Amino acid sequence: MAGILRSRGWLGRLGRSEAAPGLVLIACAAAALALANSPLAQAWHDLFHHPLPWTPLPRLDTLHLWINDGLMAVFFFVVGLEIKREIIVGELADPQRRRLPVVAALAGMSVPALVYLAASRGDAALHAGWAIPAATDIAFAMGVLALIGKRVPPSVRLFLLTVAIVDDLGAVAVIAIFYTAGIVWAWLGIAAALFGAMVILNRSGIRASWPYIVLAIALWAAVLHSGVHATVAGVLAALTVPMALDRHGDSPLLRMEHALVAPNGFLIVPLFGLANAGVTLGGGSSLADPLPLAIAAGLFIGKQVGVFSAVVACERLGFAPRPAGTHLSHLWGMALLCGIGFTMSLFIAGLAFPTRPALGEEAKIGILAGSLLSAIAGALVLRFSPKPAD
């Protein structure tokens, strides 16, 4: 009995840990990789890609599409809530404090894209994947950081979180602008009207959650049929949810964020990993091929160079100081962790090569390799960095 109680206590602490969602995601990615290279590979593939016997939306006729276009809209909704909260009351609220993470995030998106284009050897067929290494996986990166513990100054954790949030905002913009197919203007008009209705609700002081939830679902359906990727609706809907606190210190935004953080971290993102991380190894593609190599180089080299050089340049030029109490090795380790692309990179890879599944599989090799290298290197650099003073 004592052993059971100790086990429950350990599981309880893990569930409340920042590392937990990242660990669950890692486990699901490993499971997907193992199943994709096992005798169950075909059954595993069919589970996600075989047409469903019935679906309420003909556009979503497989489990894979429901996860990527449906559940991931909830993921982006949570991202939108986090972005809005940070802009209103967080690190992005102060113009002075947001300078450094915004510059670092922009450099951390542009340099990996340039490295990718350089490493893809001028192959025009691969150019659509330029944004794959530009993303950072918050859960994965924060999970690795949490496992290192007290050897990392709190300011590094906060800075990484802020950079990743700005990075996510940039990724959403990239998806909306560069990975949109043909526009169906009637549906886009309906989506615009629904978004306007949500803004009016906010301006009218409506604080109940259910009207926003109902309209958010309708907005998602309209965007799904408009040609713009449906997950963009998640961020747009989140930006209309009121943040203003009532006399009890509560708000619809905080209520929704609190309610969705656990399902997002322990169900939606792991399911996405299970459905998308599986890649057949030894199937003719290798890390030395142009696409996997370009992605891995973008994540591992481009991210650390972009983020670290931006932080150092901002400090040297007097534009913004580095995070308090940090050594250059802390900043280097943090920049390496930004190269963990995983969830968002897998998502963008699916958008970049929708009609060429072979390239999608090659992209997964580069994403897994680049993210794993970044995680290991970042953890080692931070582990052996100077310990913060108490």
Q: Assess if residue 41 is contained within a domain.
A: no
Q: Indicate the pLDDT class of residue 2, thresholds 50, 70 and 90.
A: very low
- Is 129:12 a contact under the CB 8 Å cutoff? no
Q: Assess if residue 37 is contained within a domain.
A: no
d(CA 263, CA 183) in angstroms, rounded, equals 32
- Is 146:18 a contact under the CB 8 Å cutoff? yes
The pLDDT of residue 146 is 80
Q: Assess if residue 125 is contained within a domain.
A: yes
Tell me the average pLDDT across 339-359.
91
The pLDDT of residue 9 is 47
CA distances from 46 to 58, 71, 236, 269, 354 (A): 18, 19, 33, 20, 18
Q: Assess if residue 49 is contained within a domain.
A: no
240-263, pLDDT tens digit by residue? 999 988 777 789 999 999 999 999
Is residue 7 scored above 60 in pLDDT?
no
d(CA 294, CA 132) in angstroms, rounded, equals 10
Q: Which residue has the tokens 């679906």?
A: 55
The pLDDT of residue 157 is 87
CA distances from 110 to 188, 306, 348 (A): 29, 8, 15
Tell me the average pLDDT across 126-147.
89
What residue type is 326 in one-letter code? T
CA dihedral 9, 14, 17, 23 (to 10 degrees): 180
Q: Assess if residue 1 is contained within a domain.
A: no
d(CA 159, CA 315) in angstroms, rounded, equals 14
Q: Assess if residue 46 is contained within a domain.
A: no
**Which has more pLDDT, 115 or 20?**
115
The whole-chain average pLDDT of the chain stands at 89
Q: Assess if residue 52 is contained within a domain.
A: no
**Which has more pLDDT, 9 or 130?**
130
Q: Which residue has the tokens 């995983």?
A: 342
Helix, strand, or coil (residue 214): helix
CA distances from 92 to 78, 117, 173 (A): 17, 31, 18
- Is 67:346 a contact under the CB 8 Å cutoff? no
Question: Which range marks the domain in which residue 121 is found?
Answer: 24-31+59-383
Q: Assess if residue 47 is contained within a domain.
A: no
Tell me the average pLDDT across 191-195.
98
Handedness of CA 90, 91, 95, 98 (dihedral sign): negative
Q: CATH no. for residue 168?
A: 1.20.1530.10
Give me the number of domains the chain comprises.
1
The pLDDT of residue 302 is 97
Q: Indicate the pLDDT class of residue 338, thresholds 50, 70 and 90.
A: very high
Encode 169-197: b = buried (16+ Cβ within 10 Å), e = exposed.
bbbbebbbeebeeeeeeebbebbeebbee
Is residue 53 scored above 90 in pLDDT?
yes
Tell me the CB-side half-sphere exposure of residue 353, using CA atoms within 13 A. Answer: 20
268-293, pLDDT tens digit by residue? 999 999 999 988 887 667 788 999 99
The most confident of the ranges 16-30, 192-206, 267-281 is: 192-206
Q: Which residue has the tokens 């001028």?
A: 122
Tell me the average pLDDT across 100-106.
95
The pLDDT of residue 15 is 47
Helix, strand, or coil (residue 386): coil
